[in-house]
Amino acid sequence: MKEIQVNIDPERVTWRRDPRIYGHFIEHFHNQIYGGIYNPQSPLSDDEGFRTDVLEAWRRIQPPVVRWPGGCFVSAYHWTDGIGPERQPHFDKAWRVEDTNEFGTDEFIALCRKLDTEPYICTNAGTGTAEEMSDWVEYCNLRTEGKWAKRRIVNGSVEPHNVTYWSIGNENYLPGEMGAKTPAEWGRFVKESAKMMKRVDPSIELFAASVADLDWNIHLLREAGPFLDWLSIHGYWDPLWQNNRLSDYEACMLFSTRIEAQIEKTRHILGAMGYLGKIRVAFDEWNLRGWHHPNVDKAIDPKDYIEPRDLNDLDDTYTMADALFSACFFNQCLKHSDLIGMANYAPSVNTRGLIRTHEDGIVLRPTYHVFDMYVNGLGDQVVDSWIQGNAVFKVEQGKESVEVPVLDVIATIVEATGEVRIALVNRHPEDTVTALLKTRDGRRSVLSWQGLSGDDKNAYNDKNNPERVKPSAMTGWEADDQGIRITLPPHSVHIIGL
C-alpha cells in the first residue's frame, strides 16, 4: 500500500478537549446494575455492595460523568420508590422484569462519589410529571427546604447531592417508549418540566431528549429552547434489537464513516433555530452495537424475551471492530468539540459494556483499552490535522461497493509542554500502512507510541484469555527531513507523542 501523509499544525488550535466526551451510562437492564456494578452477595464487593474490581477498573479511565437510571427503564420509573429504608419491588414495564428498588438515587450518588465522577440523572418523561421531576431535583439539591430535602436528610444524607446534570426524558420520540410524545406534545411538556426544575435549582444544566430530526427540534426549541443547555441524542449503528446477527468487521468500519452525518445534521438544525453556540449536544447514549432485547413487547414466556439478553454478554462479540469504531467516534467528538460537549458510552458494565463481570472477576473488552488510551494519552487542545492522499478499501453493501478511508486521525497538544499527541486509526482489515507524519512547526521525534491491535481483526478478550488484546509500547519509526515514518499494523489504534 502507498505511503499516506498525515499533516499536523500544532500552532492552529481549533478547540479545547472536553473530558465529558468520555462519559458513561448505566441502566436497570439485565445485569448491568444487579449482578454487575452492585452485588452485595459477592465476596468481591465492598461493605456497600459495590464490586471493588469494577470500581478499580472504572477509576483507571477517569469517568467524568455517569448517566442513570435509563434508558427506556426511566420512562416508567418513579424515583420515590427507590429511596428510604423500606422499599417495595416494582414491575419494570420497559423490560418486563421485577426491579427490587434496592439500587436507587442515594446508591447512585454513592457510586459516583466512589468514582469521583459527576452524576447525571435522566428523569421520567413517560409516565412521570413535571412535578415529579422537580421534586427529584429538590431531593438531590436543596439543603433543607421542602419535604423532599428533609426526606433526604432523614435517609442519611445531610449535605445535598448537588447534581448538576438533568435530562428530561430518554427516547420519547420512539413509539415503543413508555409515554411517547408527538413533536408538539414534547415541546410543551419539556417547557413546563424545565420551568419547574429550574425554579427549584436555577443552577442545574438541563438536557432534553432529541433526535437529528427537523420537525422534532422545531417544536422542542421553539417551546423550550430558552430553558435548555443541551440536546440529548443517541447513536447505535449496528441495530440488534430483535436479531443478534452482528455486522462483520468491514461493515463496522463503514459505520464509522457515518458518525459525522448525525452531528452535522444536528448542528444545522441548531443553527437554523438560532441556538448554535447556545445549546450543546450530548451523545448521551452511544455504542457501535445496539442491545439485544427481542420480543419484549409481545412474548408471553420469559425465556423468549429475557434469556436472549444473555447474548449481549458473549465476549467473542466484542472485537477489534468495536475498539476501532469507538476510536473513530472519539475522533469525531474531538473534531466537533465546539458542539459535542458530552458523550456517554452505553453501557459501561455488562450487556455491551467496556467491563464484563463474572463470579471470579472481570474482563476488560478491547474498547475499554481505547478509553484508557484516549483519556490518559491525548492532550488538552485539539489542533488542525488532515490526511493527504488517503487510501481506501471496499466494503460490499447490498449490491453496491462502498469505499472506506483507511486512516482516521485527530491531533492534540499538551498545553503545558507543547507536546503533540496524535490518535491514528488504521481501519484496514488486513494491510499494514506506512504513515508519514509532517508537522508544520519543524522536525520532531517520537517521544511515546502506544498501540492497540489484535492477532486477528476478530480478536477479543475473555475469562480464559483476558489479555489477548491490550495496549503495548510500539517501536520502529524513522525520521528525516520529510517527516516521521511510522508503520501501523492492520485493524489498530495508536496514540503517538511527538
Please tell me the CATH superfamily of domain 4-11+381-497, with its number: Golgi alpha-mannosidase II (2.60.40.1180)
User: Exposed, middle or buried, 309 (CB in 10 Å: 0-12/13-18/19+)?
Assistant: buried
CA-wise closest residue to 468 among 313, 315, 312, 346: 315
Q: Where are the domains of the chain?
A: 4-11+381-497, 18-377
Confidence (pLDDT) at 24: 98
Q: Is the pLDDT of residue 1 over 80?
A: no
Confidence (pLDDT) at 2: 81
pTM: predicted TM-score of the whole model, two decimal places: 0.97
Count H helices, E strands: the chain?
11, 24
Q: Is the pLDDT of residue 333 over 80?
A: yes
Angstrom distance (rounded) from CA 333 to CA 259? 9
Confidence (pLDDT) at 443: 79
CA-wise closest residue to 414 among 375, 436, 382: 382
Split at pLDDT 50, 70, 90, the class of 398 is confident
Question: Tens digits of per-residue pLDDT, 346-360?
Answer: 999 999 999 999 999
Mean pLDDT, residues 287-296: 97
CA-wise closest residue to 364 among 424, 452, 243: 452
Mean pLDDT, the chain, as a whole number?
Answer: 97
Confidence (pLDDT) at 400: 87
Question: Tens digits of per-residue pLDDT, 301-324?
Answer: 999 999 999 999 999 999 999 999
Q: Where are the beta strands (DSSP E) in 290-399?
A: 340-345, 355-358, 361-364, 381-388, 392-397
- CATH for 18-377 is 3.20.20.80
Q: Is the pLDDT of residue 172 over 90?
A: yes
3-state secondary structure of 222: helix
Active site residue 285: yes
Question: Vertex 43, ends 41 and 45: CA angle to 5°?
Answer: 75
Spot the catalytic one: 27, 138, 171, 205.
171
Confidence (pLDDT) at 65: 98
Confidence (pLDDT) at 442: 81
Split at pLDDT 50, 70, 90, the class of 397 is confident
Confidence (pLDDT) at 477: 93
Question: Tens digits of per-residue pLDDT, 108-131?
Answer: 999 999 999 999 999 999 999 999
Q: How is the chain split among helix, strand and coil, in percent rounded to 5?
A: 30, 30, 40
401: cell is: 461497493
Q: Is the pLDDT of residue 178 over 80?
A: yes
CA torsion through residues 328, 334, 340, 343, sign: positive
Q: Is the pLDDT of residue 251 over 90?
A: yes
316: cell is: 467473542
Active site residue 171: yes
Angstrom distance (rounded) from CA 355 to CA 336? 27
Spot the catalytic one: 118, 177, 223, 285.
285
